[in-house]
């Protein structure tokens, strides 16, 4: 019988083959897709998030775990849709205008997916107008902005102002190496997260 503890461990270790094999076996045995998601995949990514925050694992391990999760999700996703399983929430994320750095932003997106969020990733160099247009189109509850350059931090403020003026009911969170909680407070963001695992905790808080 497929063992979800094995699936959870495969995600933690980033073992793609085992993650995919156990997911397939569990589905073939008739296990609920939501059970496979919550007790196998998300449980594994949660452990990775906790260890990452505690500096017990580093970015490469998180990326490898996220890749294993992505492979297993490709098999599970159609079954989750068939079963009508709702995501935890919808988050939209992008790197702000003028900024091409996306490694941290991608990590945040992967961790959010790992935690059960549906994620709309707008990519890099995203203008305030595009954030607004895509927020109207996708109705996320949370919009995440990433910036790695001191010169592109003002684009965060412009984006937050544009989102507020548009009246789209979203909560905003910001992050990136030069960004601080003080800056988030100054520009009126709803939250700041220093790393990808904290971004997941923050996004969950912002849902409520
Ligand atoms: Co650039 N770069 N770069 N760069 N680059 C930095 C950021 C820099 C600090 C290097 C330096 O000078 N020491 C410096 C910025 C200085 C400053 O403004 N203070 C810099 C510069 C100057 C530049 C250029 C201007 C260089 C030039 O052309 N003269 C240029 C700008 C291009 C542009 O964006 N318009 C440039 C270009 C590039 C590359 C294209 C070569 C490449 C980016 C490749 C890519 O992203 N696809 C690059 C890289 C790789 C870096 C460094 C080396 C690494 C950044 C990174 O990926 N870190 C960086 C120096 C450094 O940091 N050591 C540097 C790993 C990543 C996982 O961390 O992104 O911080 P980070 O994400 C973390 C957290 O910040 C947080 O979670 C992540 C995981 O824990 N986080 C969030 C991030 N986003 C979040 C969002 C959230 C919450 C948390 O909520 C929404």
The whole-angstrom distance between residue 132's C-alpha and the CA centroid of its chain comes to 19
Q: How far is the CA of 79 from the centre of ligand 1 (A)?
A: 37
Average pLDDT of 81-110? 91
State yes or no: pLDDT of 103 exceeds 90: no
Ligand 1 close to Cβ of residue 58 (< 6 A): no
> How far apart are alpha carbons 15 and 130 in whole angstroms?
37
36-89 pLDDT tens trace: 988 999 899 989 989 998 999 999 999 999 899 989 989 998 888 788 788 999
Is residue 190 helix, strand or coil? coil
Q: How far is the CA of 102 from the centre of ligand 1 (A)?
A: 8
30-47 pLDDT tens trace: 999 989 988 999 899 989
Nearest 5°: the CA angle 59, 10, 109 is 40
Q: What pLDDT was estimated at residue 7?
A: 97
Ligand 1 close to Cβ of residue 171 (< 6 A): no
Ligand 1 close to Cβ of residue 7 (< 6 A): no
Average pLDDT along the chain: 94
Contact between 80 and 131 (Cβ < 8 Å): no
Residue holding tokens 């403020």?
A: 157
Question: Which residue CA neighbors atom 62 of ligand 1 most closely?
Answer: 177
- Domains of the chain with bracketed CATH: 4-82 (1.10.1240.10), 90-207 (3.40.50.280)
Confidence of residue 194 (pLDDT cuts 50, 70, 90): very high
Q: How far is the CA of 61 from the centre of ligand 1 (A)?
A: 19
The residues near 104 (Cβ < 8 Å, ≥ 6 apart) are: 146, 148, 175, 176, 177, 196
Contact between 30 and 69 (Cβ < 8 Å): no
Q: What pLDDT was estimated at residue 80?
A: 84
Q: Is the pTM of this model over 0.85?
A: yes
Ligand 1 close to Cβ of residue 173 (< 6 A): yes
Q: How far is the CA of 148 from the centre of ligand 1 (A)?
A: 5
Q: What pLDDT was estimated at residue 39?
A: 93
Give the residue, out of 126, 148, 205, with the most ligand 1 atoms within 8 A of its beta carbon, to mutate for a pocket test: 148
Q: What pLDDT was estimated at residue 72?
A: 94
- Host H or E run for residue 94: strand 90-95
Residue 85 φ then ψ, to 5°: -75, 125
């Amino acid at each position: 019988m497929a063992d979800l503890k094995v699936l959870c461990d495969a995600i933690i270790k980033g073992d793609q083959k085992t993650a995919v094999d156990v997911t397939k076996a569990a589905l073939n045995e008739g296990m609920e897709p939501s059970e496979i998601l919550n007790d196998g995949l998300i449980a594994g990514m949660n452990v990775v998030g906790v260890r990452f925050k505690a500096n017990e694992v580093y970015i490469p391990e998180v990326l490898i775990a996220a890749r294993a999760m992505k492979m297993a999700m490709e098999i599970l996703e159609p079954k989750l849709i068939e079963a009508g399983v709702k995501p935890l929430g919808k988050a939209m994320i992008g790197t702000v205008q003028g900024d091409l750095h996306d490694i941290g932003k991608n990590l945040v997106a992967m961790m959010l997916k790992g935690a059960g969020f549906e994620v709309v990733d707008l990519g890099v160099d995203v203008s305030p107008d595009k954030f607004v247009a895509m927020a109207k189109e996708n109705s996320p509850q949370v919009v995440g902005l990433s910036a790695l350059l001191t010169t592109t931090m003002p684009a965060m403020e412009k984006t937050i102002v544009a989102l507020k003026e548009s009246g789209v009911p979203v909560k905003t969170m910001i992050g990136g190496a030069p960004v601080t909680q003080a800056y988030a407070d100054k520009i009126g963001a709803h939250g700041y997260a220093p790393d990808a695992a904290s971004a997941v905790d923050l996004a969950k808080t912002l849902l409520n």
